[in-house]
Amino acid sequence: MADTEEPQIYLLTPPNLDLGTFPDRLARLLDAEPVACLRLALATRDEDTILRAADAIRDVAHARDVALVIDTHVVLAERLGLDGVHLGDGVRSVRAARKALGADAIVGAFCGASRHDGMNAGEAGADYVSFGPVSAGALGDGTAAETDLFRWWSEMIELPVVAEGGLDAHAVHELAPLTDFFAFGEEIWAADDPVAALRALRATMT
């Protein structure tokens, strides 16, 4: 589906949030740069922590017309009034999430480096699939999603695709013509100036 248009930014939260400071950091970033979607992607499974984090950032995102999805937790997405869910198990949960959340919710699926899983997720009702990491790393099983996968997808499949994991300036430049979204997380938040870090990565897309 990717074309000559610049890919959109799909932003991930840090895995651990300081709720005293992060909402303001997020607001500054969203005010400075266009972001299409934000994913609450916490390392913890503690429900209370997740609820408090969602409450802290939901209004920041929605006030700026940025969709907010949550990793994995279909029930919490519905309860918290979020825009959808990002599923980490490929196709396996897509149909159930779509049934639970309805046609208007965003349902995304991480499919590692598997073309087969991506196609199946789309057939099951996913709104997008994400592939990654784009360089070998800890995301998923660590298998890198090669450039050829994104090239094939962009030529053959209409469903939007997200590149995530292991994104540096070289990878962003190479994949910009082939992906619809870049999912930036620690690539941005680990920097002293997240806005400058995002702008630097965006500059490599052209």
CA distances from 142 to 18, 26, 133, 163, 190 (A): 28, 29, 7, 14, 21
Number of domains in the chain: 1
Residue 56 placed within a domain: yes
CA distance 149 to 115: 7
Q: Can you give the pTM of this predicted structure?
A: 0.94
Residue at 170 is within a domain = yes
User: Over the stretch 122-181, which tens digit does the pLDDT of each residue have?
Assistant: 999 999 999 999 986 666 677 899 999 999 999 999 999 999 999 999 999 999 999 999
| Cα–Cα dist 68/82, whole Å | 6
What one-letter code names the amino acid at 95?
A: R
CA 142 to centroid of chain Cα atoms:
17
Instruction: Identify the pLDDT of residue 1.
Output: 44
Is 3 part of any domain?
no
> What residue numbers bound the domain in which 161 lies?
8-203
Please enumerate in sequence order all residues whose Cβ is within 8 A of that of 189, keeping only pairs 6 or more positions apart, or say none. 13, 14, 25
The dihedral built from the CA positions of residue 70, 155, 123 and 145, taken in this order, carries a sign that is: negative
CATH number at residue 193: 3.20.20.70
SS3 content of the chain, % helix, strand, coil (to 5): 40, 15, 45
pLDDT of 89: 85
User: Is residue 137 a contact partner of residue 165, using CB atoms and an 8 Å limit?
Assistant: yes
- The label of the residue with tokens 């965006």 reads 202
Tokens of 22: 């992060």
Could you give the angle at the alpha carbon of 144 between the alpha carbons of 117 and 33, nearest 5°?
Answer: 90
- State the amino acid at position 91 in one-letter form: V
Q: CA-CA distance, 42 to 15, in Å (whole number)?
A: 4
Are the beta carbons of 167 and 160 closer than 8 angstroms?
A: no
In a domain, 1, yes or no: no
Stated length of the chain: 206
Predicted pLDDT of residue 90: 73
Residue ranges, the chain, pLDDT below 50: 1
Residue 2: inside a domain: no
Q: Does residue 38 sit within a domain?
A: yes
How far CA 144 is from CA of 106, 114, 137, 175, in Å, comes to 25, 10, 7, 13
